[in-house]
């Protein structure tokens, strides 16, 4: 996960995997909720289930690399090999026992949450929680 603050917006990006053991229909992801916090108070809850990008197969590493460049998490000059070291990528992550998801959420200072009068400094007080629920009833809160 990562956070990027600019003069115009703050961006939260993260990825996670669901160990569905190849049975996505039975134990895969059911829903994902994003809670946005400002000064440790929840200011918004958003269902992001349909906005998640599903990353599977051999494209997983490349997709994570592209996402990191697009989000500004890494310098575009960082090689794929160095990126693998940066994230601690290990080949076993590429198994069929789990499905990986990525998501980027942007908050524009001028239009989102105008009552907060956000700017680059105030955005430093923003956090997020993600609550993931699987079809088999398992629930995980990432705080």
Domain residue extents for the chain: 2-142
For residue range 42-86, list pLDDT tens digits in order. 999 999 999 998 775 545 666 777 788 888 888 878 877 787 778
pLDDT number for residue 71: 85
pLDDT number for residue 88: 75
CATH class for the domain made up of 2-142: mainly beta
Residue 80 CA to residue 49 CA, distance in Å, equals 29
pLDDT number for residue 99: 79
User: 């400002």: which residue's tokens?
Assistant: 38
DSSP state of 137: S
Q: Which residue has the higher pLDDT, 36 or 24?
A: 36
CA distances from 57 to 25, 63, 99 (A): 17, 10, 9
């Amino acid at each position: 996960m990562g956070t990027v603050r600019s003069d115009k917006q703050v961006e939260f990006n993260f990825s996670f995997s669901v160990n569905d053991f190849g049975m996505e229909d039975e134990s895969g992801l059911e829903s994902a909720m994003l809670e946005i916090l400002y000064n440790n108070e929840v200011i918004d809850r958003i269902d992001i289930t349909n906005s998640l990008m599903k990353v599977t197969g051999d494209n997983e590493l490349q997709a994570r690399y592209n996402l990191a460049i697009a989000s500004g998490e890494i310098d575009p000059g960082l090689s794929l090999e160095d990126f693998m070291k940066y994230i601690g990528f290990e080949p076993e992550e590429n198994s069929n026992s789990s499905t990986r998801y990525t998501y980027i959420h942007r908050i524009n200072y001028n239009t989102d949450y105008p009552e907060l009068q956000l700017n680059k400094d105030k955005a430093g007080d923003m956090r997020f929680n993600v609550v993931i629920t699987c079809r088999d009833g398992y629930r995980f809160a990432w705080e």
